[in-house]
Amino acid sequence: MSVDFTIHFQANLQIIGINPFVLIPPHQLAVIFNQIKKNKGVIKVLICVNGGEIFPQTLLKYKGDWRLYINTKILPNSPSRIGELLDIKLNLDFEDREIKMPIDLKGGLEKNPQAKEIFDNISPSLQKEIKRYISNLKTPQSIERNVKKAIEFLLGNGSFIGRKSISKK
C-alpha cells in the first residue's frame, strides 16, 4: 500500500495503564480536525511509525487528550520502549472497516433465536468485537468451539472475549 502522508510529527511514546500511546501535537490535531470536519468521536487513520509498515488505527479522546495508541503490531515491543521519540506519519482513513458477520456465527445465531435477539440488541462495538474475534480464528475446530462459547455468553452463561457478562468488561 502506498500512501502520501499529509501529517508528520515526532512524539515520545507514553503509557496509560498497559497501553502505549503518543499525543498528537495541537497544530497537527487542528489539521486533522479541519480535514475531517469534526473534533469528536473516533477518527480512523493510517499510521506509519519510524518508517515501518502502514497500519489502520483509531485516534480517540481519552481523559481529555487525543491519543494515538501504539500497539506491538505497529511498533514491536512498544510497552518496553516508553520514552522513545517516534517518527509518526499519518493520514485520515476513509475505508470501510466494517467486519462482516462470520458465516459460522450467523448460522449459530440463526439456530438460537434467543441469542440472536440478544446479539441484535447489544452495542455495535460489542457486536464488532465478537465478529472480529470469530473472524480471526484459523481452524474450523476453534471457530466451532468459539461460536458455541459466544452463544453461551450471549445467553448469560460463561465468559467470552475477556468479558464475564454482556454489560461490563
Are residues 84 and 132 located together in one domain of the fold?
no
| DSSP tally for the chain: helices H, then strands E | 5, 7
The answer to whether residue 116 sits within a structural domain is yes
pLDDT in tens, 80-126: 999 999 999 999 998 877 889 999 999 999 999 999 999 999 988 89
Are residues 88 and 148 located together in one domain of the fold?
no
pLDDT at 168 over 50: no
Q: How confident is the model at residue 50 (pLDDT cuts 50, 70, 90)?
A: very high
Strand partners of residue 47? 55, 90
The reported pLDDT for the residue numbered 106 is 96
CB 105 within 8 A of CB 134: yes
Across the chain, mean pLDDT equals: 91
CA dist., res. 42 & res. 95, Å (int): 14
Q: How confident is the model at residue 1 (pLDDT cuts 50, 70, 90)?
A: low
What pTM value is reported for the model? 0.63
Indicate the number of domains in the chain. Answer: 2
Q: Per this entry, what is the length of the chain?
A: 169
How many other CB atoms are found less than 10 A from the CB of residue 1? 6
Are residues 40 and 88 located together in one domain of the fold?
yes
CA diameter of the chain: 53
Are residues 52 and 81 located together in one domain of the fold?
yes
Q: Which of 92, 117, 142 is the last residue of a domain?
A: 92
Are residues 76 and 35 located together in one domain of the fold?
yes
> Which residue range is the domain that position 137 belongs to?
103-154
pLDDT in tens, 68-85: 999 999 999 999 999 999
Are residues 15 and 74 located together in one domain of the fold?
yes
Are residues 53 and 117 located together in one domain of the fold?
no
pLDDT in tens, 139-167: 999 999 999 999 999 999 989 988 888 86
Q: Is 98 helix (H, G, I), strand (E, B) or coil?
A: coil
The answer to whether residue 26 sits within a structural domain is yes
Are residues 48 and 82 located together in one domain of the fold?
yes
120, three cell numbers: 441484535
Are residues 11 and 86 located together in one domain of the fold?
yes
Q: What are phi and psi of 108, to 5 degrees?
A: -65, -40
Are residues 66 and 143 located together in one domain of the fold?
no
